[in-house]
Structure 1
Amino acid sequence: MMKTFSDSNSESLITTYQKDNMLSKLFEVFSITAEGSYVYLCNIKEDFSRWSKDAVDFFGLPNEYMYNAGSIWEKHIHPNDRKKYHQEIDSIFNGTSRNHNMKYRAKNKDGLYVLCSCRGIVFNDENNEPAYFAGTITNYSYKSNIDSITSLNNLYCFFDNFRNSSLYGYTVSLFGISNFADLNNIYGYDVGNQILRTFSEYIEKIFNNIDHIYRMEGTKFIVLSKDHTIQDITDIYEKMQVTLRNGIYVGKLKLPLFIGGSCLYVSSKTVGAHTVYTCLKDSYHESIHLRQGDFVIFKDDLNSNINERLEQLNTIRNSIADNFKGFFLCYQPIVDSKTTKLTGVEALIRWKNDTYGLVPPNNFIPILEKDSSFSQLGDWILKTAMSDMQPLLLDYPDLEVNINLSYTQLEKNDFVENIEKIISQTNFPKKNLCLEITERCRLLDTDLLRNFTEVLSKQNIKFALDDFGTGFSSFNVLKNIKIDIIKIDRDFVKNILTSKSDKIIVNSISKLCKEFEFDLCIEGIETPEIMDFLRKIYVTNFQGYLFSKPLTKEEFYKKYSV
């Protein structure tokens, strides 16, 4: 069994470690001579290590002192680099190698991968047996905070600069090139780099403040200003749009650039840089995909106080890092359309806080879904829902547990591997799992969606297409992706007794499902009259307040346990 830091003999080993003059001096010498790199020192026989406090803080490791540090660290390494790393560490511990030297990408506590190089050697004890493995890890995000293409500060520099300080008083803008992928494909990689350099130089010339311009991911650039109001930035953006659409010279080529942009003013001292960037990306996404490039100022229609909203989102984001503090799941039953007997359950995320009370998921999910840390919350939802519902399978062996996916999860290279790992950890039957693809997930590449649905479908995991008909991509997904269940949103149901258009739409979807032999679940059933009306068409399942509101785990057990 893998040891953990909480094992009973950990404290004594730490004490021994600290009292061992040789180990302590070695670690201190390494720390002094490492020149900014992280230091690690491992007792091979006990597989007990000490790591630099800076590494613990930057990567979100459990402690300075760790059992099985190699396995803990492996979880932070990019999936594409993990196999080689595993082989290297195995060779150290089985005695076939005495040196370690490789580069890999490792995930920091904010969910971002940074390039690292790791070097280490094995040295012997007084009996000439391998006893200690020691070395350094160099974090290139610290070594290189300058973007190599544009020579601007990069995203690591942005987050480092505002790790312990506030963006208070800044107007923060995000600009990006929406047609860059097309231009890059037509003219090639070298011209693509020239486009980025030309665009960055154009922004620098307009704002005349290189110290407060950062190149973020892809074609996104952030500009910080204390001299410009939101109205000033809006006026500047409109002029930028006209100039760039008319074309700018990239070498000898005159190329039109189409841009998107977003902006917010930070008047709160407690809002972190990650929260600001996440909110800007949400508004930028709206600019590109919904507003044809119009400038979007971050706001929330449900809350007119923008900075109070930012503080709320900042608290929710920090709650993810704080062991998902305040998050819990509720479960809404799904019933057979003819008998109303329980056939399934949908897991629904909730968040509660002493300051803000119970915050509806629609207030934070669409925005925080764009945050790199959100995939951690998605994994927590999967694991919690499977663990919570597993005891009910004794009474309902065919119960389907529906869990919503976020596109942040789906974008990760190790998504399928991660699902399989969580299923293994919870020992949850794959045939009882149904993964719901939401409207936001449909914006992902079709090939990506097809690949993971095909792999997991072969393992008897089902897929549901949620909110069918609410987005332009519904039929495209239906055409190309393996789907088992269609779910109709309550917006098409609440007025169905009086709305001719809703009747036509729902009836058409019902016929389509019957032809394709999909199950059809209709959400938002709130009255017996609506239920009776919908029973006249092809439908397999109902979900809604007529049968039950979302329940806590305890309430659900009480109502449905046999």
Structure 2
Amino acid sequence: MTENEQIFHDFTIDPYLFYEAIENSTDDYIYIVDMIRDISLISQNMLHDFDLPGRKVHGLVPLWGELVHEKDRQRYFDSIEKMLSGETDEHNVEYQIRNRKNEYMWVVCRGLLKRDSNGNPVFFAGVVTNLGSKGKMDYITGLFAQKECEKLITRLIESESNPGGILLLGLDDFSRINALNDHIFGNTVLRQFAQTILQFLPPNADLFRFDGDEFAIVYKNASGQELYGLYQKIHAYANRRQITDGISYFCTVSGGITMIGDDGDNYLDLIKFAASALEASKQNGKNTCTFFSPGLIKSKLRTMEITNQLQLSIMNHMEHFHMVYQPLISNDTLEVGGAEALLRWTSEVYGPVSPIEFIPVLESSGLIVPVGKWVLEQAVKTCRKWISFAPDFVMNINISYLQMLDASFLQYIRDLLAKYQLDPRHIVLELTESYFVTDMEALKNTFSQLRKEQIKIAMDDFGTGYSSLGMLAQSPADIVKIDRIFISAINREVFNYSFINAVIQLCHSVDIKVCVEGVEYPEELETIRSIHPDSIQGFYFSKPISATEFQSKYWGNR
């Protein structure tokens, strides 16, 4: 008799009480297998969390194997086979397994096989540990955390001749999802995204959770083309309406790609380079993917400098900001009926900076709210002056969804209109098309309040985002602005002409006015006028110009 056998021979306890004490003292899943009868006893939490028939299970090993992710299933069964063949008595494997929520979680399964005197298996017992509870995993998504990503990339750098690359993913405007709902809902969105992306991965790719809304895919032995192809699959999924907990939303994804070995030979550089590529995607309009290049580091430094300069400009009472105005022309009379107020900014270092570059910086830094208030006041003040020349003049003002989320937004507009004694019918607030779909539920109350104030709302850039013709009838927009992308080929592409014509007819049937943007050439104007939009905007009439130039051009010295 061994020493352990002697101890337990002298120490008699109730086996049921012993098992109950063990089960209630750990969060691990416990299993005991009678190998002769092939009957297993599993802990209550194991039955609760996984799709198993009961606490007593016939044929647990193959049933459990069916729940293991197909990428890991062979490794699981190989470990079992090694025990049954007598090669080892220990089972110690990490793998992903599907729980009752149909989500995959990473676990480590450890067990020990006991044999009789003839070497035949008689008893197998062990525990399954959720790695998310051990700090190795991200508990929100069930993915390996960043530290595990570092270990894998380091191994690839050291051992692989063709180590592959990294695809760093970032959910676009994810902070908006949290702001419009709450962090619990946001965590659910992250988990759903992670669990879905796992299904897109090839066998030689692994997904990791990084900080906030970022994920990293390490794709072993892959070319840049294969990495980009994987992003395209994810992009297609992310560009559909999603539903979580009964709430519908859109959440597109941007990507940054860096190649292990070619772009860097250590983890820190590679992640920094992937982050630079991802940031470039965000700066280039989001919902796209960028390959790393050395020039991106220079671009990132430029963005940081621009951010600092914007902050200084705001602190110095909006120094270096100015407004320009582009006319809105009546289709019937070809006379000016309004204008779109546009913000411009000049850097002391870089000179004039495009709004395409500096507006996203204002939004990402939160500076868009104070700047937006300044823009509103400049536009309202100018409009008040110009209605003395044109009594029905209307000023269109671009608004960020972040401004609409600001609690003081509605009252600020009321106060401005009162301060300058301007009737609400003279202003239109423009919001990019995508937000009419992605944030409709959250912004519905704001839209309703604006309508009560008799302030009109325009849907800008129609046709470039998520909208469909069918949703226009339910839209709170009073005006739809069709994007230049459809105008540029209106006389070459039958679809473009048909699309604009259909939008105009449908909008008019539900009392929505239409403005066509981006008209630059006489032949474009002629075609557009024939399908009767309400107003036209574009370089054919005028580029955006200063208030002084605008007044002189349309009303002379009056």
Structure 1 residue 472: Cα displacement = 2.0
Query: CA–CA distance in 2 between the matches of 1:394 and 1:378?
Result: 25
Give the conservation status (yes or no) of the 8 Å contact 1:332–1:551: yes
Structure 1 residue 331: Cα displacement = 0.4
Structure 1 residue 347: Cα displacement = 1.0
Q: Give secondary structure in 1 for the equivalent of 2:530.
A: coil
Query: CA–CA distance in 2 between the matches of 1:275 and 1:553?
Result: 39
Residue 500 of structure 1 corresponds to 494
> 1:487 aligned to 474, 481, 486, which one?
481
> 2:508 aligned to 493, 514, 519, which one?
514
2:428 is matched by which residue type in structure 1?
Answer: C
Percentage of matched positions with identical amino acids: 28
Aligned pair 1:558/2:548, yes or no? no
Query: CA–CA distance in 1 between the matches of 2:291 and 2:425?
Result: 42
Distance 1:326 1:504, change over 3 A: same
Look at both structures and tell me which one has the larger radius of gyration over its CA atoms. 2
> 1:319 aligned to 309, 315, 323, which one?
309
Query: CA–CA distance in 2 between the matches of 1:366 and 1:463?
Result: 22
1:377 is matched by which residue type in structure 2?
Answer: V
Aligned pair 1:524/2:518, yes or no? yes
Aligned pair 1:541/2:531, yes or no? no
Structure 1 residue 260: Cα displacement = 6.3
Q: How does 1:49-60 map to 2 (within 5 A)?
A: none
Aligned pair 1:374/2:368, yes or no? yes
Residue 351 of structure 2 corresponds to 357
Query: CA–CA distance in 2 between the matches of 1:362 and 1:453?
Result: 26
Q: Give secondary structure in 2 for the equivalent of 1:369.
A: helix
Residue 287 of structure 2 corresponds to 286
Q: Deviations over 1:438-457 (max 9, x none)?
A: 13433532122322112111
> 1:331 aligned to 311, 325, 350, which one?
325
Give the conservation status (yes or no) of the 8 Å contact 1:485–1:520: yes
Residue 389 of structure 2 corresponds to 395
Query: CA–CA distance in 1 between the matches of 2:422 and 2:542?
Result: 25
Aligned pair 1:453/2:443, yes or no? no
2:307 is matched by which residue type in structure 1?
Answer: R
Distance 1:305 1:387, change over 3 A: farther
Q: Give secondary structure in 2 for the equivalent of 1:389.
A: helix
Give the conservation status (yes or no) of the 8 Å contact 1:275–1:314: no
Query: CA–CA distance in 2 between the matches of 1:482 and 1:453?
Result: 7
Q: Deviations over 1:76-109 (max 9, x none)?
A: xxxxxxxxxxxxxxxxxxxxxxxxxxxxxxxxxx
Distance 1:284 1:551, change over 3 A: closer
> 2:295 aligned to 305, 317, 321, which one?
305
Q: Give secondary structure in 2 for the equivalent of 1:338.
A: coil
Query: CA–CA distance in 1 between the matches of 2:388 and 2:485?
Result: 35
Query: CA–CA distance in 2 between the matches of 1:396 and 1:193?
Result: 50
Structure 1 residue 149: Cα displacement = 9.9
Q: Give secondary structure in 2 for the equivalent of 1:498.
A: coil
Query: CA–CA distance in 2 between the matches of 1:177 and 1:558?
Result: 42
1:308 is matched by which residue type in structure 2?
Answer: K
Query: CA–CA distance in 1 between the matches of 2:378 and 2:412?
Result: 14
Q: Give secondary structure in 1 for the equivalent of 2:542.
A: coil
Residue 348 of structure 1 corresponds to 342
Q: Deviations over 1:252-310 (max 9, x none)?
A: xxxxxx99675599999xx9xx99997686689637xxxxxxxx45879xxx8223322
Residue 220 of structure 2 corresponds to none
> How many positions carry a matched residue from both structures?
349
Q: Give secondary structure in 2 for the equivalent of 1:364.
A: helix
Distance 1:263 1:467, change over 3 A: closer
1:310 is matched by which residue type in structure 2?
Answer: K
Residue 206 of structure 1 corresponds to none
Q: Give secondary structure in 1 for the equivalent of 2:460.
A: strand
For structure 1, the residue ranges without an aligned partner over 5 or more in a row are 1-146, 151-170, 200-212, 224-230, 243-257, 288-295
For structure 2, the residue ranges without an aligned partner over 5 or more in a row are 1-137, 142-165, 196-208, 217-222, 235-250
Q: How does 1:127-146 map to 2 (within 5 A)?
A: none
Distance 1:424 1:318, change over 3 A: farther
Query: CA–CA distance in 2 between the matches of 1:194 and 1:386?
Result: 41
Query: CA–CA distance in 2 between the matches of 1:399 and 1:354?
Result: 35
> 2:464 aligned to 440, 448, 470, which one?
470
Q: Scaled by the length of structure 2, what TM-score is found?
A: 0.50
2:505 is matched by which residue type in structure 1?
Answer: K
Task: Compare 479-488 and 363-372 and name the one that shifted more.
Answer: 363-372
Query: CA–CA distance in 1 between the matches of 2:252 and 2:517?
Result: 38
Structure 1 residue 430: Cα displacement = 1.3
Query: CA–CA distance in 1 between the matches of 2:480 and 2:534?
Result: 10
Distance 1:536 1:263, change over 3 A: closer
Query: CA–CA distance in 2 between the matches of 1:259 and 1:542?
Result: 31
Residue 430 of structure 1 corresponds to 424
Q: Deviations over 1:118-148 (max 9, x none)?
A: xxxxxxxxxxxxxxxxxxxxxxxxxxxxx99
Query: CA–CA distance in 1 between the matches of 2:464 and 2:535?
Result: 19
2:485 is matched by which residue type in structure 1?
Answer: D
Query: CA–CA distance in 2 between the matches of 1:354 and 1:491?
Result: 33
Distance 1:309 1:429, change over 3 A: farther
Structure 1 residue 403: Cα displacement = 0.9
